[in-house]
């Protein structure tokens, strides 16, 4: 039988209000929000003032509250709240993907040390129940690859560039006007948000814990009409795709890059603010999940699902980590990519293993070839500074076997 839960809520923004709405309109499940901690004393809110507090300890040290729900924007403050609550024996539900991804090992240890549960389904892909799916459905099947569209803001922008031929700048402005993008969209459009989610899912899919600073993320800020035209001519859509790939039995690669997606790929039909996840299992093959990736109600529904699960005593078992204790994160991967460059000097910066296609025009130059992920990491700042665009082409991702001589300079000179 489900236990009635007394909740202490941190944050009452879009997601906090979404949770309040779905909690009060859900059928068959009731929980009591005892107190809501907020920061801005001047802001007008749609509930009685007695429900709110500006002192976090009023919630954290209240013995009647047995569940903390953390829904604030500040990742550092969120970690202080969550780690304190766990250390005091309180269960926690959070939607803060940056906080979780940045402190996975510490949060994992705190749960086991204090025998409490931390659930964070809402941190990854909105309303899609991907973490629980990985934990329960794929608990005993080896996963080969996990990829998808994890960020609704960038997907909305990219949808508009293809469907309506808008420029990146025009599509971003429209996304901001509709409330899909923040006034400062850096976290979304540069791929940080998607990276945090990929790191979280990598733990549940493969058992690996990676640090955000070690994982490559390149977003869509250098996208140009040339790249959009190339995609359209070839029948592709451009998507920002986080990828978690098994390279060897004990090596996993994680990266976030734009990708040229063909019509045969499940992600081709995931447009606007929707998210999609592809899980490739050793025996079951590809499984595809699609759902709303942003907004108060979809995320609030994911938070509510975690609260409900906690009422039945649910915990993440982190089965993959127990099954594969020796698994490691690695950037030693080979990718097939499209690189649009400005001048010959740009191309010489990159050590391509081979180049299968090359085009040089008046103002538009690109190559398609195989490159070491470490080489992209080394040149990330150069790519962005010089407004070059790079995107994955195809599904071929393999482990680096041994260093090979670059052929990029040969092909240019011959």
**What positions carry a catalytic annotation?**
197
* Whole-angstrom distance, CA of residue 396 vs CA of residue 248: 14
Residue pair 277/194 in contact (Cβ under 8 Å)? The answer is no
């Amino acid at each position: 039988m489900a236990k009635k839960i007394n909740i202490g809520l941190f944050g009452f923004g879009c997601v906090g209000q979404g949770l309040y709405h779905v909690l009060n309109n859900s059928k068959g499940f009731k929980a009591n929000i005892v107190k809501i901690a907020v920061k801005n004393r001047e802001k007008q809110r749609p509930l009685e003032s007695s429900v709110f507090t500006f002192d976090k300890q009023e919630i954290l040290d209240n013995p009647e509250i047995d569940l903390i729900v953390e829904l604030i924007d500040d990742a550092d403050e969120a970690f202080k709240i969550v780690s304190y609550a766990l250390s005091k024996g309180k269960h926690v539900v959070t939607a803060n993907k940056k906080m979780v991804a940045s402190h996975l090992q510490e949060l994992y240890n705190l749960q086991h040390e204090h025998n409490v549960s931390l659930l964070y389904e809402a941190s990854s892909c909105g309303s899609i129940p991907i973490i629980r799916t990985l934990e329960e459905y794929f608990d005993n099947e080896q996963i080969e690859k996990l990829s998808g569209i994890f960020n609704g803001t960038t997907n909305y922008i990219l949808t508009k560039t293809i469907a309506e031929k808008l420029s990146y700048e025009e599509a971003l402005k429209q996304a901001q006007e509709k409330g899909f993008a923040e006034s400062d969209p850096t976290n979304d459009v540069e791929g940080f948000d998607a990276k945090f989610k990929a790191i979280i899912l990598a733990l549940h899919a493969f058992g690996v814990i990676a640090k955000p600073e070690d994982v490559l993320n390149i977003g869509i800020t250098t996208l140009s009409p040339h790249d959009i035209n190339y995609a359209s001519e070839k029948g592709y859509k451009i998507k920002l795709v986080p990828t978690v790939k098994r390279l060897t039995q004990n090596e996993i690669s994680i990266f976030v890059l734009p990708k040229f997606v063909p019509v045969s790929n499940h992600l081709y039909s995931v447009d606007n603010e929707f998210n999609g996840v592809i899980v490739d299992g050793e025996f079951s093959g590809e499984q595809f999940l699609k759902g709303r990736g942003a907004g108060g109600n979809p995320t609030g529904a994911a938070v509510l699902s975690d609260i409900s699960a906690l009422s039945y005593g649910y915990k993440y078992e982190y089965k993959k980590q127990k099954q594969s204790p020796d698994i490691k994160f690695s950037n030693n991967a080979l990718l097939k990519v499209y690189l649009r460059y400005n001048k010959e000097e740009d191309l010489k910066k990159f050590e391509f293993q081979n180049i299968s296609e090359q085009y040089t025009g008046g103002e538009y130059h690109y190559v398609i070839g195989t490159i070491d992920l470490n080489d992209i990491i080394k040149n990330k700042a150069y790519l962005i500074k010089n407004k070059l665009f790079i995107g994955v082409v195809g599904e071929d991702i393999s482990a680096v076997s041994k260093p090979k001589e670059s052929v990029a300079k040969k092909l240019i000179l011959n």
